[in-house]
Amino acid sequence: MVLSRFWYVLLGLFLGLSIFVLSLATSMYNRAGARAMGEALSSDSQVVAWYLRDDARQRSGRLIQFGVDPDIAKYLQKSSDAEAKVPEDAKDRLLSALKKVNASIPKEDQFDAVFAVDQAGRVVAYLGYEQASGMSDFELGGYPVVADALRGYVRDDTLVLDRVYRVVARPVEYDMGSLPAGAIIGARIVDDRFARELSSRTGAAIAFYVNGERAASGSPEGFATSQLDQIVGDMATLEADTDYMDKGRSKVRTIGGLLGVQYSRLPGEAWQLGGGFAVARLPVAVDGLFGFFKNADDKDKQQANLPLAVAIAVVAAAVGLLFTVFEHTRPLGAFKSEAERLAKGQIDQLQASRFHGVFRKIAADLNDGMDQVMAKGGGPRRGPADMKQVLGDIPDQPQMSAFSFPTDPSSMRSPPSAPIPRVSPALNPNNPRAPGLAGNPALLDSTLVEGSRGDSVARRMPSPPARVVTTPVGYQPTEEEEWQAVFQDFVSLKHQCGENTDNFSFEKFEQTLKKKNDELLTRHGAKRVKFSVYVKEGKAALKASPIME
């Protein structure tokens, strides 16, 4: 079964190689995914920072509409000249002017809050900042962004008031030869709406935080915003990140193996309060050897060459089955068929030449085992092959005379009707190949003789009793002597069974026996063949047993 075993080894090697390739591909894919995620997060941080600056520049342009309004400039100048208290009429006229200008701005570009600040930094009028209701003194002049605007600069910053605000400020000119009359401050609340708008324009999942708490978050479609809550617990370790503390941007961090995050600090006052934003992405990775199947979508599956994979699997299975049929199923079927014939008595032994490999060895061992059982007196086998099955048709020849050896004529005289006794040539004292018998009367004590007719297998000579000739120890009869004995046993058994032995000669018997002997030796690889006789269905039959040792 070399081919089948080779195929099993080949399939095992292929399976092991597949597992190794999958492991290698998983590691390479995860590493490449981590590198790509880091690059993407760095890009997201830069995009968000750029968007915040660009949005501030665009919104500072909207403040021009407030700065050029004559009522706003006039009443800011009037409030700046008042040293003790802001005039009430200035508050009312400025509030009306702010409402009028803000209404002219498109809704998507409007500010959440607008402040009109005089030269002293006092808030004269405001829109949208309801937290200042009832406050008599409300100043913004202490913030750097407002102070720069009062000196003639356009600035943007992130302020932390009751919440986080993105603000832009620009000066309001009244008299070109003097300091600005005041400043206009436009503010947008950094809330979830702002974060979602920013996320939709940049494609990044973003979260704003301040004082160790998340202030707002937004994410693109397909990203669960709730996952951004994990940054709160991770921010406690940000102080140990030297890049974040020195450069304002952290290294790419992985939270719980499920979320890639990079933190960036917001400039200005919010920096001092720990304000910043975090961009996040889900890691591009696969879990385990079969993670590719979980992450693959319908498009990926359509691009896979499924017919080729199925064809390879079918061909491999067919080749394996073909090998097992030739090396296992067919030999086993032949062995089963031969065993059934043996069980039915159609054959006396398994034909080992019909098998190959281990089945031939099993058949030979079974034959040897049955011979051992017979040698120990286990009884005749059921249904052994008859002479025609083993030797083929044997032509009838004239009956041969029985063998005998010289002795006293008076002692050997017997009635004419008595059967002629037969003595094996091996026990014939005149046989030169029977050593120790010729000229040694001491060995002729009692001779076993067999009748050629009748039911008795062995009988003694009539009085005076014949002496039995014993075979010397270690003597091995020749092949011719064995065949002579088999021939005489066969003729005697045919007489006992009432069969005709006319025209049955040893010469033809010997030729056929020799032909079948050579054939069995070649077929089974045996050292010799042992022939014996027995009765089958009332007739004499002959049995051939290959001897392997």
How many helices and strands, by DSSP H and E, does the chain display? 17, 14
Q: Are residues 395 and 514 in the same domain?
A: yes
Whether pLDDT at 437 is above 70: no
Q: Are residues 494 and 435 in the same domain?
A: yes
Token pair listed for 316: 């491999």
Q: Are residues 358 and 464 in the same domain?
A: no
SS3 235: helix
What are the angstrom distances between the C-alpha of 449 and each of 376, 402, 497, 501, 541?
24, 11, 19, 20, 21
In-domain check, residue 33: no
Q: Would the CA dihedral through 490, 491, 492, 493 be positive or negative?
A: positive
Nearest to 281 by CA among 260, 262, 252, 258: 260
End-to-end CA distance of the chain: 27
Whether pLDDT at 186 is above 90: yes
Q: Which residue among 350, 374, 398 closes a domain?
A: 374
Instruction: Dump pLDDT digits (tens) for 67-89.
Output: 888 889 888 888 887 677 778 88
In-domain check, residue 156: no
Whether pLDDT at 390 is above 70: no
Token pair listed for 120: 């002293």
Q: What value does the mean pLDDT of the chain take?
A: 75
In-domain check, residue 222: no
Total domains present in the chain: 2
In-domain check, residue 362: yes
pLDDT at 475: 66
Contact 384, 371 (CB under 8 A): no
Q: Are residues 367 and 426 in the same domain?
A: no
Token pair listed for 490: 């066969």
Q: Would the CA dihedral through 42, 45, 50, 53 be positive or negative?
A: negative
- Give the pLDDT mean for 37-43: 85
Q: Which residue among 319, 350, 374 closes a domain?
A: 374
Q: Are residues 349 and 443 in the same domain?
A: no
Half-sphere exposure of residue 270, counting CA atoms within 13 Å on the CB side? 28
User: How many Å is the maximal CA-CA distance in the chain?
Assistant: 179
- Cα–Cα distance for residue pair 517/512, rounded to 1 Å: 8
Whether pLDDT at 106 is above 80: yes
Nearest to 116 by CA among 155, 84, 149: 149
Read off the pTM: 0.51
User: Which of 541 and 286 is assigned the larger pLDDT?
Assistant: 541
Give, as one character, the DSSP assignment of residue 266.
P
pLDDT at 462: 40
Element (H, E) at 16: helix 2-67
In-domain check, residue 144: no
In-domain check, residue 199: no
**pLDDT over 70 percentage in the chain:** 78
In-domain check, residue 284: no
Contact 425, 434 (CB under 8 A): yes
Q: How confident is the model at residue 419 (pLDDT cuts 50, 70, 90)?
A: very low
Half-sphere exposure of residue 250, counting CA atoms within 13 Å on the CB side? 23
Q: Which domain holds residue 354?
A: 307-374
Q: Are residues 394 and 423 in the same domain?
A: yes
Q: Are residues 484 and 508 in the same domain?
A: yes
User: Which of 414 and 252 is assigned the larger pLDDT?
Assistant: 252
Q: Are residues 541 and 399 in the same domain?
A: yes
Instruction: Dump pLDDT digits (tens) for 481-493.
Output: 888 888 888 888 8
User: Which of 475 and 363 is assigned the larger pLDDT?
Assistant: 363
pLDDT at 260: 87
In-domain check, residue 296: no
Burial of 172 (0-12, 13-18, 19+ CB in 10 A): buried
pLDDT at 136: 63
Q: Are residues 356 and 497 in the same domain?
A: no
Q: Are residues 438 and 340 in the same domain?
A: no
Q: Are residues 519 and 425 in the same domain?
A: yes
Q: Which residue among 319, 351, 374 closes a domain?
A: 374
Q: Are residues 350 and 449 in the same domain?
A: no
- Give the pLDDT mean for 137-141: 81
CB burial readout 517-533, b (16+ within 10 A) else e: beebeeebebeebebbb
In SS3 terms, 413-442 reads as: CCCCCCCCCECCHHHCCCCCCCCCCCCCHH
Token pair listed for 57: 């520049």
pLDDT at 115: 92
- Which residues does 65 contact at the CB level (< 8 Å), separation at least 6? 101, 104, 105
Q: What is the DSSP string of 35-71?
A: HHHHHHHHHHHHHHHHHHHHHHHHHHHHHHHHHT-HH
